[in-house]
Amino acid sequence: MSHPERLGSPGGESVGTIAEPPHVNESLSDYAARYGLRQSAARPPLRKYLQQVWARRNFIWAFASAKNISMYTDSRLGQLWQLLTPLLNAAVYYLIFGLLLNTSRGIKDFIPFLVTGVFLFGFTQRSVTSGAKSVGDNLSLIRALHFPRATLPLAIAVVELQQLLLSLVVLFAIIMAWGEPITFNMVLFIPVVALQLMFNVGISMVMARLGAFNRDITQLLPFIMRTWLYMSGVIFSLPVMMKPGSKLDRYPVIARLLEANPAHVYVELSRNMLLGEYRESMREQVALHKATTMPMSQLWLYAIVWAVVMLVGGFMFFYRAEERYGRG
């Protein structure tokens, strides 16, 4: 193979070489190694890679802002869509699930409940879908300049965070309009979003690598995401569905799995932090059915574990293919 055993710096000789060599018959790869040249497109060591990513933090921010700006350049309403899209989404779900199908039974303040769910699920959903495209959509940049590729999915996560912050303005307006009092619990909403952001960064890195080498993923994603949406209690309350005697109650394994799924964890935590009425009703339910309902402490634990595992795992997963992005 092309890897020489000798990895000396210029002039440095390994033990056992005879005198100062004239380097006759030395192979080109040995010659390259003697001058400290490396295979082009090798992956830097993890530490150095992290430093490089950190050094590009300004790039990540600037790239995210630029993306946000260019996203709506062709539409007349422009940036207004950042507010209109979440509003319209909430309106559609309210029309179908609140008015037509009446899934709201048992939930007080269904509108704030629904809007919180839709917005926060959308945060993760968009991180996944645009994460999958983050490498493929920027091939010309990847091929032109050299920079750690992990900055691309990171920038995507920042774009989605910026979008979320705008939707949160809408969200708070709706919550306030429903007469929700401002409580200390609302401050705890900030760490929830932070944990969800960590999770999103991780998952968008996983998707970025998958999407970079397999474009079929982007065709499949809408279906996967819709399934995930319905399984995470975004437009209905999972705990309510799991009341004793219900179908899910008879299959506790499935119920536990649904509860542990990260989208449900973050959505449910956010609702508990933001909506006083909902918090009360959940508290009652926990007290009533200890065995079947997940207490808050467990939700927090899940939220932290998911965030850390996904962030670290996703970063490593993305990093291990670093030298292959943009090839071909």
Partner 1 sequence: MAVADTRPRKALDAVELDPRREPIVVVDDLHIVYRVYGAGGKGNAASAFSRVLRRKHRPTMTEVHAIKGLSFVAYRGEAVGIIGTNGSGKSTLLKAIAGLLPPHRGGVYTDGQPSLLGVNAALMKDLTGERNIVLGCLAMGMSPAETRAKYKEIVDFAGLKEGFIQYPMRTYSSGMGARLRFAIAAAKTHDVLLIDEALATGDAKFKVKSKRRIEELRKEAGAVFLVAHQLDVVKETCDRVIWIDEGRMHMDGDPEEVIAAYVETTGK
Provide the minimum distance between the beta carbon of 223 and partner 1 in the complex, in angstroms, as a whole number.
17
Provide the minimum distance between the beta carbon of 37 and partner 1 in the complex, in angstroms, as a whole number.
4
Residue placing its CB nearer to partner 1 in the complex, 63 or 236? 63
Type and span of the H or E element at 304: helix 296-319
Residue placing its CB nearer to partner 1 in the complex, 216 or 291? 216
Residue placing its CB nearer to partner 1 in the complex, 37 or 169? 37
Q: Cite the DSSP H helix spans in 139-294.
A: 139-144, 151-177, 189-213, 216-231, 238-241, 247-250, 252-260, 262-274, 276-288
Which residues inside 222-261 make contact with partner 1, applying CB under 8 A? Answer: none
Cα distance between residue 277 and residue 160, in whole Å:
29
Residue placing its CB nearer to partner 1 in the complex, 3 or 290? 3
The angle at the Cα of 41, spanning 140 to 65, to the nearest 5 degrees, equals 40
Residue placing its CB nearer to partner 1 in the complex, 313 or 326? 326
Positive or negative CA dihedral for 236, 159, 223, 132? negative
Provide the minimum distance between the beta carbon of 73 and partner 1 in the complex, in angstroms, as a whole number.
7
Cα distance between residue 226 and residue 281, in whole Å:
27
Among 15, 18, 100, 145, binds partner 1 (CB under 8 A): 145
What contacts 141, CB < 8 A, 6 or more positions away?
A: none
What contacts 51, CB < 8 A, 6 or more positions away?
A: none
When asked if residue 147 is in the footprint of partner 1 (CB under 8 A), the reply is yes
Provide the minimum distance between the beta carbon of 306 and partner 1 in the complex, in angstroms, as a whole number.
31
When asked if residue 326 is in the footprint of partner 1 (CB under 8 A), the reply is yes
Residue placing its CB nearer to partner 1 in the complex, 35 or 251? 35
DSSP 8-state class, residue 109? S
- What's the CA dihedral at 75, 77, 81, 85 to 10 degrees? -90
Among 47, 76, 105, 146, binds partner 1 (CB under 8 A): 146
- Please give the structure tokens belonging to residue 274: 């933001």
DSSP 8-state class, residue 246? S
Residue placing its CB nearer to partner 1 in the complex, 10 or 181? 10
When asked if residue 15 is in the footprint of partner 1 (CB under 8 A), the reply is no
Provide the minimum distance between the beta carbon of 311 and partner 1 in the complex, in angstroms, as a whole number.
23
Which residues inside 20-79 make contact with partner 1, applying CB under 8 A? Answer: 23, 27-29, 31-33, 35-42, 52, 55-56, 58-59, 62-63, 66, 69-70, 73
Cα distance between residue 281 and residue 32, in whole Å:
70
Residue placing its CB nearer to partner 1 in the complex, 64 or 240? 64
**Residue type for 193, please?**
V
DSSP 8-state class, residue 324? G
Residue placing its CB nearer to partner 1 in the complex, 99 or 145? 145
Which residues inside 73-112 make contact with partner 1, applying CB under 8 A? Answer: 73
Site string for partner 1, 115-144 (x = CB under 8 A): -----------------------x-xx-xx
- What's the CA dihedral at 142, 144, 147, 152 to 10 degrees? -30
Alpha-carbon distances of 114 from 68, 129, 189, 275, rounded to whole Å:
26, 22, 17, 11
Residues lying near partner 1 in the complex (CB under 8 A)? 2, 10, 23, 27-29, 31-33, 35-42, 52, 55-56, 58-59, 62-63, 66, 69-70, 73, 138, 140-141, 143-147, 151, 323-324, 326-328
